């Protein structure tokens, strides 16, 4: 499948999972009716809820999660690959997992990915985030075949860690993903350059569905869901922060072409690190 019709779903998830499921369903159906065969939703599709106690009340184990149940049914009904960019599920140790799940056209879960890098930051705006206080970090980088293309899974803050995306590309990913709930402040500063950089560095398509707007819990997210080609060109983008569908047709052959022109993945070399001391450490290129 050299030509792959894809969609990034932009949402403004609130605190009620059932309302978010209805919004997701409407947008996914719209994307599928317009030809998309791979459809991605944003980080925290099921609920954007910054209150830890309130979040705990709606957490369910993956097998009982209503968002994932609805997504499985939608994928099967519409005959699509449906990638839930992430939703919060109950982990084994009393914490949550920020989990992506990609469903195949038969409704079966093809891959799971738990966000590896936790957004623990203090912003200039006064906002403070400590994801590690709520979420258990993932430990496995993952790719999955969707029929003619391989997708590398990542989530939001992961986009700031180039080595993860390089490893996904080395695992054969044609498409790398970073579904997000980027804050407005960080999005205005860095969203576009990070998406384009990861595409250029790895000669891969990047698809990042995003949350956008002011949410019920008071959070502001940047929106601008985006699809970038392996040369770093923006193929399609949401104009702002409102819920919408972003569509594109990807020619997967462009991945091979880009990597042939700039073969940096093959040209990487190991080297040593020296901070001025006599000790040197080996670094894998």
Q: Which residues are marked as active site? A: 43, 115, 156
What number of other Cβ atoms are within 10 A of residue 16's Cβ?
A: 14
Q: How far apart are CA 38 and CA 43, in angstroms?
A: 16
Q: How far apart are CA 248 and CA 124, in angstroms?
A: 35
Tokens of 69: 């149940």
What number of other Cβ atoms are within 10 A of residue 3's Cβ?
A: 11
Tokens of 117: 């890098």
Q: Of all residues in the chain, what percent are helix, strand and coil, respectively (each to 5)?
A: 30, 30, 40
Which is nearest to 243 in space by CA: 265, 262, 221, 260? Answer: 221
Q: How far apart are CA 220 and CA 184, in angstroms?
A: 6
218 φψ region: left (φ > 0), alpha (ψ -120 to 50), beta (else): left
Give yes or no for a contact between 227 and 237, defined as CB atoms under 8 angstroms apart.
yes
């Amino acid at each position: 499948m050299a030509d792959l019709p894809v969609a990034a779903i932009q949402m403004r998830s609130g605190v009620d999972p059932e309302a978010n499921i209805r919004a997701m369903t409407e947008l996914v159906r719209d994307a599928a009716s317009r030809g998309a065969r791979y459809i991605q939703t944003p980080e925290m599709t099921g609920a954007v809820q910054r209150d830890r106690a309130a979040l705990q009340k709606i957490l369910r184990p993956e097998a009982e999660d209503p968002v994932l149940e609805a997504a499985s049914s939608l994928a099967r009904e519409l005959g699509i690959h449906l990638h839930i960019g992430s939703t919060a599920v109950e982990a084994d140790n009393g914490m949550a997992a920020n989990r992506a799940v990609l469903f195949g056209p038969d409704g079966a879960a093809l891959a799971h990915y738990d966000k590896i890098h936790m957004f623990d930051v203090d912003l200039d705006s006064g906002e403070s985030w400590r994801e590690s206080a709520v979420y258990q970090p993932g430990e496995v980088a993952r790719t999955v075949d969707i029929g003619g293309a391989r997708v590398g899974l990542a989530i939001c803050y992961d986009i700031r860690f180039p080595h993860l995306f390089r490893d996904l590309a080395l695992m054969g990913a044609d498409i790398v993903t970073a579904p997000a709930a980027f804050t407005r402040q960080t999005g205005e500063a860095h969203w576009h350059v990070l998406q384009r950089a990861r595409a250029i560095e790895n000669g891969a398509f990047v698809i990042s569905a995003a949350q956008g707007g002011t949410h019920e819990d008071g959070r502001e997210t940047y929106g601008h869901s985006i699809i970038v080609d392996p040369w770093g060109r923006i193929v399609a983008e949401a104009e702002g922060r409102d819920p919408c569908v972003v569509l594109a047709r990807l020619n997967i052959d462009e991945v091979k072409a880009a990597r042939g022109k700039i073969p940096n993945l093959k040209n990487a070399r190991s080297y040593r690190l020296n901070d001025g001391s006599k000790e040197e450490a080996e670094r894998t290129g």
